[in-house]
């Protein structure tokens, strides 16, 4: 099982995920697209991360698992979240871009080594425009990020029948996540 505790390991694993998503590209719509994306994230998590504990949450989920904080999570046996994904199909209108930024903001605040935003873009120029908007949005929301964590933006391009990836790794080295026990005391 991957531990994702070093900068290099995190970055290389995110690159592998990008290549996997590119190789498994499928031009589909609606729940077919969503189910395919989540199936590929599960396949990657099992094969590359050695994880069986993954879950996805979305509207019309076959098991009734409606939307949660994130669309897809992969968790280690010790309960450490390793991969978190948000997905959005519609990105071509002002309202849809607001929704995309909302989904992206959820990734800014989660403690996970790899955070992925998967969405559709009309073409490569549209994807680049969305990257610029998300970058500006992130800088308006946050001034620092989890050290060593990676953000992967994966765009399924409508007109090109392929995908495009963008990656960024936060500065610093990941720190050991230690288990803590909550103990509230009265004031």
Predicted local distance difference test score (pLDDT) of residue 28: 84
CA distance 41 to 33: 12
pLDDT in tens, 134-163: 999 998 888 888 899 999 999 998 877 789
Nearest CA to 157 out of 105, 91, 97 is that of 91
161 by Cβ neighbours in 10 Å (0-12 / 13-18 / 19+) ranks as exposed
- Put residue 28 in one of left, alpha, beta given phi > 0 → left and psi -120 to 50 → alpha: beta
Is the pLDDT reported for residue 35 higher than 90? no
| Percent share of the chain, pLDDT over 90 | 46
The full set of domain ranges for the chain reads: 7-169
Predicted local distance difference test score (pLDDT) of residue 73: 86
- Do the beta carbons of residue 7 and residue 148 sit within 8 Å? yes
- Do the beta carbons of residue 21 and residue 38 sit within 8 Å? no
Predicted local distance difference test score (pLDDT) of residue 86: 93
CA distance 36 to 24: 9
pLDDT in tens, 61-105: 666 666 678 888 888 887 788 999 999 887 766 777 788 888 899
**Which position has the higher pLDDT, 31 or 171?**
171
């Amino acid at each position: 099982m991957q531990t994702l505790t070093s900068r290099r390991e995190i970055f290389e694993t995110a690159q592998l995920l990008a290549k996997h998503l590119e190789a498994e590209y499928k031009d589909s719509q609606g729940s077919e697209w969503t189910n395919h994306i989540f199936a590929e994230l599960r396949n990657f998590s099992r094969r590359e991360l050695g994880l069986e504990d993954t879950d996805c949450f979305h509207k019309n989920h076959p098991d009734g698992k409606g939307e949660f904080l994130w669309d897809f999570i992969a968790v280690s046996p010790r309960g450490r979240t390793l991969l978190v994904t948000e997905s959005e199909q519609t990105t071509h209108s002002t309202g849809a871009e607001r929704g995309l930024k909302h989904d992206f903001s959820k990734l800014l605040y989660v403690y996970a080594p790899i955070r992925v935003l998967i969405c559709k873009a009309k073409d490569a120029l549209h994807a680049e425009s969305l990257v610029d908007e998300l970058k500006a949005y992130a800088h308006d929301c946050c001034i620092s990020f989890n050290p060593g964590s990676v953000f992967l933006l994966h765009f399924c391009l409508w007109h090109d029948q392929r995908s495009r990836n963008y990656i960024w790794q936060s500065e610093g080295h990941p720190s050991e996540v230690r288990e803590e026990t909550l103990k509230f005391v009265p004031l």
